[in-house]
Amino acid sequence: MYARVTTYQGDPARLDETEARIEDIKGQIKSIAGVVDAYSAWRSDGHGVTMAIYESQEAAEAASEQVQAIWGSMAEFLTAAPSAEAYDNVVHLTG
């Protein structure tokens, strides 16, 4: 497995709208080939993190354009560009 962790800074005044948009894009995320699971978490100050687990690095790379489009749809709620890091070792700790 392979992970991409993206940190972002949302507008704290628009967190309700941000959460609604995240609900709207769940289907798009689920449709990304090779995604095993994905989570997003954020605080009341707007700082957030999204973690996506992929079957492989190749799957993550193949999804890059689709992922960029999804982040583009979130741009109006962000105060800075998101920053992604990749991890090539993933272990499922529960379940």
Which CATH number do you get for residue 18?
3.30.70.100
Tell me if 74 is assigned to some domain: yes
Tell me if 70 is assigned to some domain: yes
pLDDT for position 88: 96
Tell me if 92 is assigned to some domain: no
Tell me if 22 is assigned to some domain: yes
Collapsing DSSP to helix, strand or coil, 83 comes out as strand
Number of structural domains found in the chain: 1
Tell me if 71 is assigned to some domain: yes
pLDDT in tens, 38-92: 999 999 999 999 999 999 999 999 999 999 999 999 999 999 999 999 999 999 9
pLDDT for position 95: 73
Tell me if 6 is assigned to some domain: yes
| Full residue range of the structural domain in which residue 14 is found | 2-87
Tell me if 31 is assigned to some domain: yes
Contact 13, 41 (CB under 8 A): no
